[in-house]
Structure 1
Amino acid sequence: MRDVNPSRRALLGGLAALSAATTMASQRASAGPTAIHYGGPSIPLWPGAAPGAPKVLPTRRIEQRSQSADFDDRWLYGVAAPTLEVRRPAFQDGSAVILVPGGGYGFLSIDNEGEEQANWLTRRGVTCFILYYRLPDEGWANRGLVPLQDAQRAIRLVRHRAGEFGIDPARVAVLGFSAGGHLGGSLATRFAEKTYAPVDAADALSARPDLTGLIYPVITLSESFVHAGSRDNLLGKGASLAAAQAGSVERLVSDQTPPVFLTAASDDGLVPIANSLAMYQALLAKARPAEFHGFDQGGHGFGARLPQTVPAHAWPDLFHAFGQRHGVFKG
């Protein structure tokens, strides 16, 4: 029988299209991390040598920590020329995230806290830039500023090239892990600090993130719950209390600090959850937008690998929802 009701036909067609779109969105959001692609542009941060370069540059070395041929867990050492590794989504929501791997300022965990994070973010339409920043104990002058120099330069470059990558320069987030969380927090609180001499037009742009995510982060360099390895790699062993306090993120929160998302596990035996609590309390004291999720299980360095039976596995969805509420992520 011929359908003589065009309105009903249009309604059924619209419902079918909506159902298909919903199914595709659900698949994008829930697909497992099984197809990680390392291909993409690599953007040098600096047009020449990075600030404070030693006469003999560090030698690049990658250590494969995984025992499985199907699973990468690479640690990067010897960053002579810092870069942004671009990972573009199949569809774009116009936002960008600069991913800042951890490693105690002694190496970069480029898979667990880089590629795997880009994998779930790009499925949500986010353009990702994995920051391969310099390690301060590899001969650079002004070692305590070296990672922050690279982070400031990175966010300015992303904004400068926003049109090229189809992103909104007012929707640029930073997501840092462990010591990378210290660097992300430093960028959120020290974005206006002049850490290097401008080199081109990009350096006229703001280095302030529009949103910051700090995942099991190192925060303090001066309190009893400090992660001593990160402190010593950044500042050098025997650094003064004044230097340690000047680099402690919880002391630097201001009324200009962007919205901050924090998560950590109470069973973290490497970087105590007290770091996240100190940052959350500092944000509340300044009435800054902040969200903190403290889980009873997860340990340290869990990235996006936790099974659903472990509570902390939920943090990526919570972070994305936080970014939606603050206008950075769409959809």
Structure 2
Amino acid sequence: MRADHEGEPIALWLNSIGIAAFVLRYRVAPYQYPCALKDVQRAVRYVRHFANDYGINGSKIGVLGFSAGGHLTTTIGTHYDSGNPDAEDPIDRESCRPEAIIPCYPVVTLKPPFTHEGSRMNLLGVESDPVMVDALSNESQVTPDTPPTFLWHTADDEAVPVENAILFASALSKNKVPFELHVYEKGRHGLGLAEEDSHVATWTSLCGTWLERQQF
């Protein structure tokens, strides 16, 4: 996510509703998979390990991301582990499974016709390994243990088709994972808090209510 648009302003909004927030600056191109995934896994472990020092609940960690960051959000929601109990570094002993994920106008699938080609190329290179394309098409990686999810998208998004969010929501439904999906009729890609669009801007209040219901 862009720190000046989809980073710090989002953290400040979360702060305004009583939720502590951290902005992750993860590795992007020229770095490729699994760098970004390792970064977010480490971030979740780190926050969980030092939760008492920060005065926060280490059993209530969520991950929120936009667009390609939304793909990373659905990736950590489907590619996590319980930690390595034998690790020398105590942080690596922590689970990296979040308790909630919030993908916003996310890239979810790496398969045509609905993927965002630039995101797939940045993640896996020009010649993408079909095995990795399958593994990182996160709609196919959902299980009943996938964290509760809040998704939103706009129906006329020309950059990342709304089918990405719908595919993920469908997979959550099939696996009986609690989720909430909001699709707005109109709105360009990359709206962030959507302060310029009063209709789409309602996503923050809806998400805040959902987070409260998840006991965040």
| TM-score relative to the length of structure 2 | 0.95
Question: Equivalences for 1:22-171 in 2 at 5 Å?
Answer: 101=1, 109-138=2-31, 143-171=32-60
- Does the alignment pair 1:264 with 2:157? no
Please identify which structure carries the higher strand content.
Answer: 1
Other-structure match for 1:226: 115
Taking a change above 3 Å as real, the CA distance of residues 198 and 296 of structure 1, as seen in their structure-2 partners, is farther
Deviation at 1:308, TM superposition (A): 5.0
Q: CA deviation at 1:238?
A: 1.3
1:255 equivalent to 2:144? Answer yes
Q: Secondary structure at the match of 1:189?
A: coil
Q: CA-to-partner distance for each residue in 1:59-114, whole Å, 9 max, x for gaps?
A: xxxxxxxxxxxxxxxxxxxxxxxxxxxxxxxxxxxxxxxxxx2xxxxxxx111110
The 3-state SS of whatever aligns with 1:256 is coil
Given the two structures, how large is their TM-score scaled by the length of structure 1?
0.62
Q: Does 1:181 align with 2:74?
A: no
| SS of 1:299 mapped into structure 2 | coil
Task: Measure how far apart 1:157 and its partner are.
Answer: 0.2
Matched, 1:324 2:206: no
Instruction: Assess if the C-alpha contact under 8 Å between 1:136 and 1:144 holds in 2.
Output: no
Q: Deviations over 1:4-56 (max 9, x none)?
A: xxxxxxxxxxxxxxxxxxxxxxxxxxxxxxxxxxxxxxxxxxxxxxxxxxxxx
Are the structure 2 counterparts of residues 151 and 198 from structure 1 closer, same or farther at C-alpha, using a change threshold of 3 Å? farther
1:279 to 2:173 alignment: no
Q: How far apart, in 1, do the equivalents of 2:26 and 2:177 lie?
A: 28
Where in structure 1 are there 5+ consecutive unaligned residues?
A: 1-100, 102-108
Q: Alignment partner of 2:121: what SS?
A: helix
C-alpha distance in structure 2 between counterparts of 1:288 and 1:198, whole Å? 31
Q: Which residue of 2 aligns with 1:292?
A: 181
CA distance in 2, matches of 1:178, 1:256: 23
Question: Larger Rg: 1 or 2?
Answer: 1
Deviations 1:98-139 (Å, cap 9, x if unpaired)? xxx2xxxxxxx111110110121111121111000011424x
1:313 alignment counterpart: 201
Shift of 1:198: 5.0
| Alignment match, 1:208 | 97
Q: Runs of 4 or more off by more than 2 Å in structure 1?
A: 305-309
CA drift at 1:261: 0.4
Task: Give the letter aligned to residue 118 of structure 1.
Answer: A
Query: What is residue 51 of structure 1 aligned with on the other side?
Result: none
Aligned pair count reads 215
The 3-state SS of whatever aligns with 1:261 is strand
Q: How does 1:14-25 map to 2 (within 5 A)?
A: none
2:44 and 2:96 in contact (8 A); partners too: yes
Query: Per chain length, whose mean CA-contact separation is higher, i.e. which structure has more relative contact order (CA < 8 Å, sep 6+)?
Result: 2
Whole-Å Cα distance in 1 between the matches of residues 194 and 87 of structure 2? Answer: 39
Contact kept? 2:154, 2:184, Cα under 8 Å: yes
**AA paired with 1:312?**
V
- Range with greater deviation from structure 2 (181-190 or 127-136): 127-136
Q: Distance in 1 between matches of 2:154 and 2:143?
A: 26
Q: CA deviation at 1:241?
A: 2.0
Unaligned runs of 5+ in 2: none
Q: Which protein has the bigger helix share?
A: 2
| CA deviation profile, 1:140-181 (whole Å, cap 9, x unmatched) | xxx311100000000000011101111000111111110101
2:28 aligned counterpart, secondary structure: coil
User: Partner letter of residue 262 of structure 1?
Assistant: L
1:197-237 CA distances to partner (integer Å, 9 max, x unpaired)? 95610111110111110100000011311000000000000
SS in structure 1 at match of 2:62: strand
CA distance in 1, matches of 2:87, 2:188: 40
Residue pair 2:105, 2:189 contacting (<8 A) in 1 also: yes
One-letter amino acid of the counterpart of residue 314, structure 1: T
